[in-house]
Structures are given as C-alpha cells and as structure tokens.
Amino acid sequence: MEKNALSSEVGADVKRKGSLLKYIGPAFITSALMLGPGSLTLSSKIGAVYGSQLVWSIIAAIVLMMSYTEMSTRIGLAGKDSFIGIMLSKWGRVAAVLIGLGAFAVTASFQAGNAIGTGIALNALTGVNENVWIVVMTACAIILLFAKHFYSILEKLMLGLVLLMLGAFLITFIAVKPSIGEIAKGLIPTVPDGSMGLIIALFATSFSIVGAVYQSYLVQEKGWGISDAKYSVRESYVGIFILGLISFLVMMVAATILKPQGLMVNDANEMGQSLEPIFGSWAMIVFMIGLLGASYSSLIGNATIGGSMLADGLGFGRKLSSMKVKLSIMAVILFGSIIAMIFGSAPVNLIVFAQAITIFVVPFIAICILVVANDSKIMGPLKNKLTSNALGIIGLLVLLYLAFNNFKNIFLS
C-alpha cells in the first residue's frame, strides 16, 4: 500500500512538473528579446547617475508592460486569426500594413546594436575580433531560423538565455552587496533634477508595445487556446517580471559600483570592465556572459518580431514555419549585422527614422490592442475587465506622452 501511495505521489509530481513546463515559453521569449544591450546600458547609466532613486520607474514600466502583454496573451488565446489579421478584418488593409511596417522599422533599428553587443561580449570573453563574431553568430541565427522546428528551438534557446542572464546578473548583484535601505528609498517616486530624459528612455525600452503585441503571435504559435487561459496569463506575468528583475539588478550594480566613484558608462561593455578592478576578472567575465545572453537573444528575437509582423502585414502569412516569414526574419537579421559591420553602430538617421515611426505606430498599436481586448465577439469570456482597462488607459497615456516627447525632439528642436 505504501509503495502504491508513493508511486502515485511521484506520478502526480511528474504530472505537475510537466504541466508547469507546458506553460513556459512565450513571455520568456518576449522578455529575452526586450533585454538587449541598449536596455542594459540604460539601466547602468541610471544607476551610475541616480543610484537607487529611480527604482520606482522600472516597477511602473514593468506593471504597464505586464498589463499589455497579458491583454495580448488573451487576444492570442481567443482570436481565431492573428492580431494583424483581426485588424485587417476590423479596419482594413491600411491598418494591417501600418502595423506590420511599423513593427519592422522599430525592430530593425535595434538590430545593429544587438549584433554589436554580441560581438563586444564575445570579444571580451575570447579576444577574437568583434566583426568575426558578428558574422559567426549571424550565421548561427540564420541556421537556427531554417531548422525544422524553429519555434520549439527558439523557445528553449530564449528560456536558456533568460536564465543565463538572470544567473549572471544575480551573481554580480550579490557580489557588490547593494544597500537594501537605499533600494527601499527608491520605491518612493521622485524625479531628481535632470532625470526626466532617462525616465522617458527607461519607459520606452521596458514598456515595448511591439514586444507586447507579439505575445499574441507566440501564444498561437505555441498552440494554446481558451482552456489554457489561467496558466498562460500567469506565464505572461512571470516572464515580464523577470525582465524587470534583470534591469533592476543591473541598475543596482551600477548604483553600488559606479555612482560612488562618479563614473559614467557609455555602453554595457564599460559596465563589465568597471567591475574588474574591484572584484577581479571573474566579475567582468560573468557580466559579459549576461551581456552575451541579452545581445544574442535580442538579435534573434527582434528579428523574429519584425520579420513575422512585416510578413503578416503584407499578407505573406504569420506562421514561423512559412518560408516567406523565415525570409522576412532573415532580412532583419542581415540588415542589423551589415549595418553593425559597416558603421560600427546604428546611424543617427536610422534611429531618428525609427523614432519618427514610433510616434505614430506605437500609440496606434496600443489603441488596437485595447479595442480588440474589449470586443465581446472576439474575446468572449476573455474580454477585458475594469483593472485591465484602467492600466491599459494609463499605459496609452504614457505612450502618447513618449510620442509627444519624440515629436518635440525630432521636429521642434
């Protein structure tokens, strides 16, 4: 009897673990593609200049990101078509093309930075030239893209890279021993003199509406339906929470190491190098491993978003198994890598163009998400509740403010 009871208990544990693993994937891909070298550099800068004073801002940005990612998860579960397909039916071809082209422009503009970050991290770890690594890792990404079960491999790779980042930055965080009291003070919202620009940039990178909307595609690629709503919504929260946690860890490392010395960082590579004199080469190596995870996950993830949504917007399909979708993703990967090797960074004109696109497209996509999430015919029992709408409206107002700020900087300054 005891043996049978033990066997049943073990079987139940295995079943629970299998069920848990089944509901891990889409949000971890979303968080991995958002955690690029740019976001790590920004977190480092904020910590170096303002210490822990802006901890509240990363929490606020992540709460809004959670709300839109969760909405997109439900849209993916309830919708019989892709998000762009739904908008095609509701508002026509112009809306579908605008969303697809906008997603492509925004993600493609970050690809050079992701390729460069990959090269920098591997150069620091191996001493081999950055451009050599850009070519090698770009080739690896394209080979991965044409693998038979691309989504399944992508999911496992992104989960592994997220855990790699989390482990690397958590080890660094523990090593530097930040002040818990200072962190607690940073939970109280304050806007120090001169910090608004960095706060705006933090919201722009951590609250990515294009990343959020692609969650609906990943949910459908995973094969989830309405019956999976409970666990898939939880997964969306956990994935985005980890995104915020990693940004927080990097910010606090910079606050503890750089701020007391009055040092400023221009890229994530300098953040890693600043650890070496105090903790030795191992700290720099661990940080660079985290940077590698952030850069390479974004290199693949950003391209997947941009290529997939461009293909869907132009009517070429949306499934990652489609050859047209694969070729669109490959175009984004090659675009970023070629720009990185020719210019060494994303040209200013390209960044300005992407910001100009963001002004119009990002708030429009947010409005589309809110409209679809409140459509009873599409959503059924998964329609937005009051809390989702309240957070959604707050998020939309934040995006409109970011768009106004970009407009002012580009056209009025």
How does pLDDT run across 45-55, given as a tens digit for each residue?
Answer: 999 999 999 99
Whether the per-residue pLDDT at 110 is higher than 50: the answer is yes
Whether the per-residue pLDDT at 38 is higher than 90: the answer is no
Asked if residue 23 is part of any domain, the answer here is: no
What value does the mean pLDDT of the chain take?
87
Residues 87-99, mean pLDDT to the nearest whole number: 94
pLDDT category at 347 given cuts 50, 70, 90 is low
Whether the per-residue pLDDT at 358 is higher than 80: the answer is no
Asked if residue 5 is part of any domain, the answer here is: no
Residues 133-159, mean pLDDT to the nearest whole number: 91
Asked if residue 19 is part of any domain, the answer here is: no
* b/e per residue 35-59 (b: at least 16 CB within 10 A): bbbbbbbbbbbbbbbbbbbbbbbbb
Whether the per-residue pLDDT at 413 is higher than 80: the answer is no
**For the chain, what is the domain count?**
1
Asked if residue 261 is part of any domain, the answer here is: yes
DSSP 72: H
The CATH number of residue 46's host domain is: 1.20.1740.10
Whether the per-residue pLDDT at 17 is higher than 60: the answer is no
Q: Which helix (H) or strand (E) element contains residue 21?
A: helix 2-22
Whether the per-residue pLDDT at 37 is higher than 80: the answer is yes
Asked if residue 221 is part of any domain, the answer here is: yes
Check residue 167 and give its pLDDT.
Answer: 92
pLDDT category at 1 given cuts 50, 70, 90 is very low
Whether the per-residue pLDDT at 5 is higher than 60: the answer is no
Bigger pLDDT: 306 vs 276:
306
Q: List pLDDT tens digits, range 151-186.
A: 888 888 888 888 899 999 999 999 999 999 999 999
Bigger pLDDT: 280 vs 394:
394
Whether the per-residue pLDDT at 205 is higher than 60: the answer is yes
Asked if residue 14 is part of any domain, the answer here is: no
Asked if residue 106 is part of any domain, the answer here is: yes
Check residue 410 and give its pLDDT.
Answer: 76
Whether the per-residue pLDDT at 10 is higher than 60: the answer is no
The residue written with tokens 């100009």 in the block is: 356
What range defines the domain where residue 265 resides?
28-412
Q: Exposure of 88 by Cβ count < 10 A (0-12 exposed, 13-18 middle, 19+ buried)?
A: buried
Check residue 350 and give its pLDDT.
Answer: 67
Asked if residue 275 is part of any domain, the answer here is: yes
